[in-house]
Chain A
Amino acid sequence: MAGFTFNISDIAAMMNAKDQVTKKMVQMVTDNPKVCYINSDGTGKSGPVRELYDRHPNRVLDVGIAEMNLVTMAAGLARKGYIPYGQTFGPFLCVRALDQIHNDLAYNDLPVRLIGTHGGLSSGYGPTHNTIVEFGVMNAIPNMTMIAPSDAAQCVKMLEASLTWPGPIYIRIPRGEEPAVYNSEYDYAIGKAIEVRDGSDVTIIATGTGVYNSLRAALMLQEEGLSVGVIDMHTVKPVDREAIERAARRTGTLVTVEDHNILGGLGSIVADALMEAGVPARLKKIGIPDEFVSFGYPEEIYPHYGFDGPGIARTVRAFCS
């Protein structure tokens, strides 16, 4: 637990991950002459990104609505020694421009950081704008690193850590206002899971927005006498195998939570790690069923698919009984 204690408040502070990312990117571009920031019609007519764009015409770029060009031009900058961050809607990066990610970032092995916004079902714009595949897809691409920060403040820590990480990174952030998970300082390292809450009966391994909802579930279940641990698996690839193995030995019962297709995502990656570790444990996966989801905003869709707090609690309760 590394001295870390977690206390969730009833009404968590809401923070906008995208705003925090923008703020941090402005700082990084300003402080580090090697950092580039490339958007896809996301510069804005005014505001901090536009000001940055006007100030740094060869490091802060906007490709227009052209994600393939964004990814490969970022690779070109990286090949010349820069650290480019490319940002746009997740689906148009990780699905539309996957050939470019596969070949120009991963195969060429260059330190480009892609920031896919509106992760999972958080967009509320329906299946064309949801991103439900990137954990599985990035996991299957050699050299890739896949990160899904659990809250806005962690996005900032992650961006700081990404500056010196070798190789390409795909970063998934949600759409907008999400509750803050952490209310105290903690150490963050890419590839190192955070054991947010200790528990002796069952461990929830969650990523992205799943972490907050898992903590809600853990608190609900605590009142029923179930001791639930929660792990923030912010780095989906390379997954923290030691943390998984430790949890399996500690509780023998694992539940994964992710806003991602149930096939091939964090749950599958944890299952792989468990099997290879040879530690006997039960595993239940919570995520999006293998279907194109209904339209609707996350406030309704998360409960619908059972990965809001009460939904997760329901599944964990049934799995442990």
Chain B
Amino acid sequence: MSKICLHDVPALIDKAGEIRKYLCRSARYAGNVHLAGPLSATDVAVALYYKHLGFDPENLEDPGRNMFVLSKGHNGVLLYCIFCDMGLHPWEELYENYNRIGHVFGAHPNRKYVRGVEVSTGSLGHGLSWSIGFAHANRNEGLASRIFCLLGDGEMEEGSNWEAIMYAGSHRLDNIVAIVDNNHCSASFMAGENIKWNSMADCWRAFGWTVFDIDGTDMHEIDRTLSGLPSVDLQSPGKPVCIIANTTKGQGVSYMMDRPYAWHIGGLDDEKLAETEALIDQYTAEQKKRI
């Protein structure tokens, strides 16, 4: 079976629009779901799953695969939408049986139930250390494949991340690509309102990472960054890479972007869903004009 690959940026933008609508439909049919965070992470996730991972739904345990670790595990519904879209799971599992006993899609992703999920996550600040384990395994086997780890900016407050950041930088695990969905909002605080970063990029750099500080809402820039990653060098490894993808929580839905903390978890009724889908279509069309 062929690996999934949407080659051009407009197709990726369209796909991101579709996934955003699936997320909102989940918030209508599945009940309350984490919503604004998945919306901000959608563009990066789409760029990875539909192009840069070389994701192969029929060869999920290929030892040489690129891996994706969802460190911000509360964004599981984003993976569910992508996997259903790819045909890995039926839509009913998401829309009718989300978070129900005996079904696969829980509020946080479980690797044993959800085909396509590499590790069960939910507790924050674990993904980078998972990535380090994978990175060493790949190196030990002479594999140059990469591990992409998606984190939230709120999640970066977890101390365990910094143990992993120090380690990966020190050991030059250049097969790790950390991506921070910098959506500037946690469940309770806007960025800088409580915990303050002078510069998140400088923090990563200080521990030996190469940082790309990008517009995480610009598919072209995301695609260019992922296409231009420094190569994985098994003999003389370079630095691990951190992409800070600057976004807004609720990305693509204006009324959520205006009050993002209110949409950390949310549900929609029929009327609101229709309005939201129209907004997403409008947003997607505008994104395509940016190219």
Q: Nearest Cβ distance between residue B165 and chain A, in whole angstroms?
A: 9
Contact present for A73 and B123 (CB under 8 Å): no
Residue numbers in A under 8 Å from B100 (CB-CB)? none
Find chain A residues with CB under 8 A from B164 CB.
69, 72-73
The answer to whether A64 touches B134, judged by C-beta atoms less than 8 angstroms apart, is no
Residue numbers in B under 8 Å from A107 (CB-CB)? 120
Stretch at the interface among B9-17, B125-133, B218-226, B279-287: B125-133
Looking across the interface, which residue of chain A has its beta carbon closest to that of B125? A68
**Chain B residues positioned under 8 Å from A69 (CB to CB):** 129, 132, 160, 163-164, 167
Q: Are A104 and B130 within 8 A (Cβ)?
A: yes
Which residues from chain A contact B170 at a C-beta distance below 8 Å?
64
Nearest CB on B from A223, distance (A): 54
From the candidates B118, B122, B135, name the one contacting A103 in the complex (CB within 8 A). Answer: B122
The distance in angstroms between the C-alpha atoms of A109 and B163, with both chains bound, is 23
Contact with B along A45-85 (1 / 0, CB 8 A): 00000000000001101011010110111111111111010
Count, A-B residue pairs, CB within 8 A: 95
Q: How far is the CB of B145 from chain A (nearest CB, A)?
A: 11
Instruction: Identify the stretch in B28-36, B136-144, B208-216, B249-257 within 8 Å (CB) of chain A at 4 or more residues.
Output: B136-144
User: At the interface, yes or no: B111 with Cβ under 8 Å from chain A?
Assistant: yes
The interface residues of chain B lying within 8 Å CB-to-CB of A201 are none
- B119 CB–A CB distance under 8 Å: yes
The number of residues on chain B lying at the interface, defined by a beta carbon within 8 Å of a beta carbon of chain A, is: 30
Q: Please indicate the chain A residues that have their CB under 8 angstroms from the CB of B129 in the complex.
A: 68-69, 71-73, 75-76, 100, 104
Majority secondary structure, A binding face:
helix
- Are A100 and B126 in touch, CB under 8 angstroms? yes
Q: Which of B135, B159, B167 counts the most chain A CB atoms within 10 A?
A: B167
**A107 and B119 alpha carbons, distance in the complex (Å):** 10
Contact call A82/B163, Cβ cutoff below 8 A: no
Chain A, interface size category, equals 20 to 34
For B102-125 the 0/1 string (1 means CB < 8 A from A) is 000000000110000011111101
B166 within 8 A of A: yes
**In the bound complex, how far is the Cα of B63 from the Cα of A68, in angstroms?**
26
Check B130–A79 contact: CB distance below 8 A: yes
Which residues of B sit under 8 angstroms from A222, Cβ to Cβ?
none
Query: Complex: how many Å from CA A43 to CA B143?
Result: 26
Contact B160 A103 (CB under 8 A): no
On whether A79 and B140 interact (CB within 8 A), knowing A68-B129, A100-B126, the answer reads: no
Judge whether B166 and A77 touch: CB under 8 Å.
no
Contact, CB under 8 Å: A76 / B137: yes
Given contacts A63-B163, A103-B120, A107-B120, contact A72 B126 (CB under 8 A): yes
A79–B65 Cα distance when bound, in Å, is 13
Query: Given the interface contacts A66-B166, A66-B167, A69-B167, does A75 sit within 8 Å of B137 by beta carbon?
Result: no
Q: Are A76 and B132 in contact (CB under 8 A)?
A: yes
A73: contacting residue among B136, B139, B166, CB under 8 A: B136
Cα–Cα distance between A81 and B138 once the two chains are bound (Å)? 11
Closest beta carbon of chain B to A79's beta carbon, Å: 6
With A58-B139, A59-B140, A68-B160 already in contact, the answer to whether A109 and B132 are too (CB < 8 A) is: no
Q: Which B positions have Cβ atoms within 8 angstroms of A?
A: 63, 111-112, 118-123, 125-126, 129-140, 159-160, 163-164, 166-167, 170
> Residues on A close to B: CB < 8 A?
36, 58-59, 61, 63-64, 66, 68-69, 71-82, 84, 99-100, 102-104, 107-109
| A-B contact sample (14 more), CB < 8 A, given A73-B130, A104-B129 | A58-B140, A66-B166, A68-B159, A68-B163, A72-B126, A72-B129, A75-B129, A75-B130, A80-B134, A100-B160, A104-B130, A107-B120, A108-B111, A108-B120
